[in-house]
Amino acid sequence: MLKTTTVTAADQHGNFRREFIAFCIAQGVLKFGRFTTKSGRETPYFFNAGLFNTGAALDKLAQFYARAIVASGLSFDMLFGPAYKGIVLASATAMALSRTGEGLPGRNVPFSYNRKEAKDHGEGGTVVGAPLAGRVLIVDDVMTAGTAVRESVSIIRAAGATPAAVAISLDRMERGTGELSAVQEVQKLFGMPVVAIARLDDLLSYLQETPEFRQNIDAILKYRELYGISTG
């Protein structure tokens, strides 16, 4: 079984993951109950990054991305956001990386993103923003099937640049159609790391430490038994 090598921000910042989980719950982005995923699975928790829908919430989310990226120690030259959610996330993360203080480096990083349809006038093409060059870090919300990452890798390579890694918000540590998760499949297929701000392990730890949410642990553990990946 493939061992997951997902990098988390708290590898260097002890409370980072806990703060992110608390932030997601407070924003209503992370909810508990009974939900049905696109694959038809009934899940006891649901993460909807589309609900980071105010300026303040997006700003805070981008800071978490930036800190996760910095803590990972990854080497990269620019950011790329796959359409559509990745456009906003890459843009906001580039802004956060340009700041100084609170673990942020004050690094001015170029970014670009793609259109779903090629533009046949003006500058034309499907890529907007800085030219794709060097080592490119892909920024997206979650990884369900890895489709956006595969498309991004093709775009980056076609431009002569190198896909360096992927940054996501939450790794559900959940199998896809086979034994591996989408995160593990991307790591195996492209040989590049996936940086997650937090993972399912972090969510469970937070719930255990927070009495008002402990009642959700059993349902999540049962779900994990059915659909979780092996990390050994």
DSSP letter for 38, please: T
CB proximity list for 133: less than 8 A, separation 6 or greater? 77, 78, 159, 160, 161
Q: Which amino acid is at 141?
A: D
Tokens standing for residue 44? 């006891």
Q: Residue 136: helix, strand or coil by DSSP? A: strand
CA distances, 214 to each of 6, 32, 219 (Å): 25, 11, 10
Tokens standing for residue 231? 């990390």
Out of 3, 38, 116, 121, the active site residue is 121
Out of 85, 116, 119, 188, the active site residue is 119
Q: Residue 117: helix, strand or coil by DSSP? A: strand
Clarify whether 31 is annotated catalytic. Answer: no
**Are residues 199 and 11 in contact, defined by beta-carbon separation less than 8 angstroms?**
no
42-47 and 30-36 strand pairing: antiparallel
Rounded Cα distance, 189 and 13, in Å: 29
Clarify whether 119 is annotated catalytic. Answer: yes
Q: Known catalytic residues?
A: 119, 121
